[in-house]
Amino acid sequence: MRKILYIITVSLLVGMRLLAAPIEQYRDSGATWLSDRLCMHWRTHATTTYIRGEYFDHMSNDSAPVPTLMMAGARSHMTDYRRPSLEQLMPRQEDPRGMWLYNKVTGTYKWAPLCETGNIIHSINQQICRLGRDAAQQYRNTGDERYRAIAENILRTYMYGVYYTRMPQDMDHGHIQTLVGLQTFEVIHEETVPFLTETYRLLNKRDTMIEAAFKHWADIIEANGVPHNNWDLMQARFIFNVGQCLLADSAYADAKGREYYFGIVENKQSIRQWSLKTLTDYGYDPETAIWCECPGYSQVVLGDLAEFVRLYREELGRNLIQELPIIERAARANVEYLYPDSMIMGFGDTHPHRLKPEVYAKLGIDMADLHPSRMFAAPKTSWLVQRTGMDPKHSLAFSLNASEGNHMHANGISLELYGCGLRMAPDAGIGYSLYGGDDYKEYYSRFPAHNTVCVDGVSDYPVMMSQQPFRILRMDTMPVQYAEVYMMDSETHADQQRLVVMTDNYFIDIFRSRRQDGQDKFHDYFYHNLGTGMSMSVPTTPTDELAFAGGHLYAYSYLYNKACAPLSETVRVDYHVPDGTAMTQWAMPMPETYAFRALSPSTEGLSRLKGMPYDIRTTPTLTYVARRMGEAWTVPFVNVFEPTAPYKPSVIDHVEFPDVKILDKKTQSAVAVLVVRRDGKKDLFVSTDNDKAKIRVNGKIYKGRLVCKSF
């Protein structure tokens, strides 16, 4: 009871000061105050953690001479418990009941089993190890012995524990066994390594047991992980940090010293750890210098490589850019990810953000010299982008992506639209529980979360490391900017072809889709738009359609407030953003088709951006769906989108979809779009599925796959 009262009292007095505490406030707390609050096996000294899949299960019954590492409770950071501040922790706490934590759901304190604590343990240890590094730096700066004692106790306690801690064991013998580190479920999150290695170097006092512990740790990092993506570089960074702490190979009986661990990074090859050259040869497209992951993770890789450029220069006296010139090429190509708001596009597991100047500074590149092109394609990651310019308010842009590479989604041919300073038709993002959560597995990574077409309610394929690219049929900037791509939906063997045309003021989207076996049930065209209000030009009726029923994707269950109307006439849909920005959509009539308005989960991908016109995180996404019974090739989905703002008024008066007469025998699909402007001018676009098509529209004959005329 006294222990409980102590923790509750400290909680009330101190509050939740977590990661911002400076080392100065602990200077007079005593040499062991911080080290005593490390999450360790203080009582049992158990050496081996047993896990079951992605959760802590139990500890071994053996006992080391010193306290050993306590592993994170789970792979996911999600937990119902609040992470305590250091002041709320009892010294040298280890209890078979778990951790005494505040439950955010019940509003009470309770003993939380370790498997339910997410990454709380790792977060506490990381904070203390960071403070240990800061104490060592303060000792170097001031000579104050109090800081030295704090740093030494944290370092010695933790690293002696590392020495006696064995690799965790998965009782299921599953994939997680190849990923675990000593303290976390993923070797890429052994983030205490750089703090501890820097502390050791700052204190500049040799300890053979600590060095042996670092080597033991680095060996596990090399043995586990993933070699073919961003993981490899994150692992390499930790291994390099260890190498920095060591003497030459000749100083150790096992000949594993500085050169050995630097060699793992530079030129050695093991099953789960590739050298820098092997990785960059594998991951970068030699033609475009684009990395084989989604935009967000591409930035991580470039940042890690830039850090290695710095480390090589400062630690080894070498120029890594000269040895691996693809690094500089990649940095220059990196600007192609940008929309006119100067933030990267959002497909796959990405959160849009600006490029980091510090990365370019490490590479010696002036960002002012870098300019995105109007049209760019990266086949190795199956995406393309077109921009009318880089004016954040007035330029338009669109991006098409399929799924080729790592951290990609099951999204078919997905579209993002940018206009009037916003990603008006955004990618939904990762989800709030990241990769392990149901929202990611069931919705955010699946077709219905994207601006795409889902066939028969079942279009799907493996996410993360996906291999479902599109093929670029044609793209150009004249007479208008456009791109047309093709892919086959592997789940239904459906041919899918998408044409996007962009003018200075609006977009035209034409999506053709049909099964190769002719057994089409229906095709669903999904479109998501920013905003807090949505209206349709025709009356709608509430419906239970678009559901997980009949073997359809779970993602359909995430749609709600659904209402529909026959798409028997041109339907206008208006999406309104609180700042006055808007998107207007004109949908072409289609037989045996219903148009739906609905709400779907919030656009998590944009929830971290500052300055958004409304609270993205708590606002559902405005969603339009058109369900075409049968195939959607001879009569494809045709939509016109015009973004507007108070400073950029609409130029479109209305949109017509003239009848088309096919005059040749090989053309199966042909549609026409007539955009009537407010100034009286008209823009005609004709799209077919045949390069040699011959068709008649409004009494005139046109030939080819795409015709654009203004009059």
Specify the DSSP class assigned to residue 320.
H
Q: Does 545 share its domain with 612?
A: yes
Q: Give the pLDDT band of residue 18 (cuts 50, 70, 90).
A: very low
What pLDDT score does 462 carry?
95
Same domain, 676 and 563: no
Examine the domain organization and report whether 368 and 485 are in the same domain.
Answer: yes
**pLDDT at residue 10 is higher than 50:** no
User: In what side-by-side order are the strands of the sheet with 660-662?
Assistant: 660-662, 694-697, 700-703
In a shared domain, residues 569 and 664? no
Average pLDDT value for residue range 643-652: 98
CA atoms of 627 and 448, how far apart (whole Å): 12
Give residue 150's pLDDT. 98
> Of 191, 226, 261, which marks where a domain is finished?
226
pLDDT band at residue 11, thresholds of 50, 70 and 90?
very low
Average pLDDT score over residue span 560-588: 98
Indicate if the pLDDT at residue 4 is higher than 70: no
Q: Would 155 be classed as within a structural domain?
A: yes
Tell me if 178 is assigned to some domain: yes
Distance in angstroms (rounded) separating the CA atoms of residues 55 and 184: 10
Specify the pLDDT at position 533.
97
Question: Which residues, at least 6 apart from 2, have a Cβ–Cβ distance to it below 8 Å?
Answer: none
Q: Mean pLDDT in the chain?
A: 95
What is the DSSP code (8-state) at residue 342?
S
Residue 168 has pLDDT above 90, yes or no: yes
Tokens coding 201: 């170097």
Kindly report, residue by residue over 487-542, the tens digit of the pLDDT. Answer: 999 999 999 999 999 999 999 999 999 999 999 999 999 999 999 999 999 999 99
Q: Write the CA distances from 276 to 57, 284, 326, integer angstroms.
A: 36, 12, 11
Q: Residue 327 falls within a domain, yes or no?
A: no
pLDDT at 434: 80
- Cα–Cα distance list, 653 to 88, 408, 584 (Å): 64, 39, 11
Say if strands 632-644 and 414-419 run parallel, antiparallel, or are unpaired. unpaired
Question: What is the pLDDT confidence band of residue 123, given thresholds at 50, 70 and 90?
Answer: very high
Per the domain annotation, does 306 fall within a domain?
no
Which domain covers residue 83, as residue numbers? 2-226
CB distance 480 to 708 below 8 Å = yes
Q: What's the rounded mean pLDDT across residues 703-710?
A: 96
What distance in Å separates the CA atoms of residue 409 and residue 404, rounded to the nearest whole number? 9
502 and 585 within one domain: yes
419 and 348 belong to one structural domain:
yes
Q: At 186, is the secondary structure helix, strand, or coil? A: coil
The first and second tokens of residue 666, run together, are 């090989």
Q: What is the pLDDT of residues 231-272, one digit of tens each?
A: 999 999 999 999 999 999 999 999 999 999 999 999 988 999
CB 115, CB 55: distance < 8 Å: yes
Q: What is the largest CA-CA distance in the chain?
A: 92
Q: Which of 451, 453, 493, 402 is nearest to 632 (CA)?
A: 453
Q: What percent of the chain has pLDDT over 70?
A: 97
What's the token pair of residue 71? Answer: 């592993």
Asked if residue 144 belongs to a domain, the reply is yes
- Can you give the length of the chain in residues? 711
C-beta pairs of 360-367 under 8 Å, 24+ apart in sequence:
360/306, 360/331, 362/306, 362/307, 362/309, 362/310, 363/306, 363/309, 363/321, 363/327, 363/328, 363/331, 364/321, 365/328, 365/331, 365/332
- Whether 635 and 670 share a structural domain: no
Select from 203, 226, 249 the last residue of a domain.
226
pLDDT at 3 over 90: no
Is the pLDDT score of 140 beyond 70?
Answer: yes
pLDDT confidence of residue 624: 98
How many other β-carbons are positioned within 10 Å of the β-carbon of residue 177?
A: 16
Asked whether residue 328 is domain-assigned, the answer is: no
Residue 245 lies in a domain: no
Query: 209-219: string of b/e by CB count within 10 Å (b at 16+)?
Result: ebbbbbbbbbb
710 and 579 within one domain? no
- Strand ranges (E), 479-618: 481-489, 494-502, 507-515, 522-529, 533-536, 541-542, 560-566, 571-576, 582-587, 593-600
637 and 655 fall within a common domain: no
Instruction: Tell me how many domains the chain contains.
Output: 3
623 and 661 assigned to the same domain: no
For residues 535 and 305, give the distance between their C-alpha atoms in angstroms, rounded to a whole number: 48
* Contact status, residue 482 vs residue 431, Cβ threshold 8 Å: no
Question: CA separation (Å) from 455 to 141, 317, 451, 519, 565?
Answer: 65, 56, 13, 11, 20
364-389: b or e for each residue (b if 16 or more CB lie within 10 Å)?
A: ebeeeebebeebbbbbbbbbbbbbbe
pLDDT above 80 (res 591): yes
Q: What percent of the chain has pLDDT over 90?
A: 95
- What pLDDT does residue 17 have? 42
Tell if the pTM clears 0.85, that is, is over it.
Answer: yes
| 274 occurs within a structural domain | no
Angle (CA) 53-58-60 rounded to 5° is 120
344-378: pLDDT as tens digits = 999 999 999 999 999 999 999 999 999 999 999 99
- 557 and 675 together in one domain: no
| CATH number of the domain enclosing 389 | 2.70.98.70
Task: Say yes or no: 209 and 343 in one domain.
Answer: no
Mean pLDDT of 54-81: 97
Distance between CA atoms of 444 and 433, rounded to whole angstroms? Answer: 10
pLDDT given at position 435: 85
DSSP secondary structure letters along 239-274:
HHHHHHH---GGGSTT--SHHHHHHHHHT--BTTB-
Confidence of residue 218 (pLDDT cuts 50, 70, 90): very high
Q: How far apart are CA 653 and CA 111, in angstroms?
A: 65
Distance, CA of 491 to CA of 511 (rounded, Å): 18
Give the integer Cα–Cα distance in Å for 290 and 178.
28
Single residue among 199, 226, 253 that ends a domain in this structure: 226
Query: Does 165 have pLDDT greater than 90?
Result: yes
Q: What pLDDT score does 15 carry? A: 39
Closest CA to 74 of 113, 43, 117, 103: 117
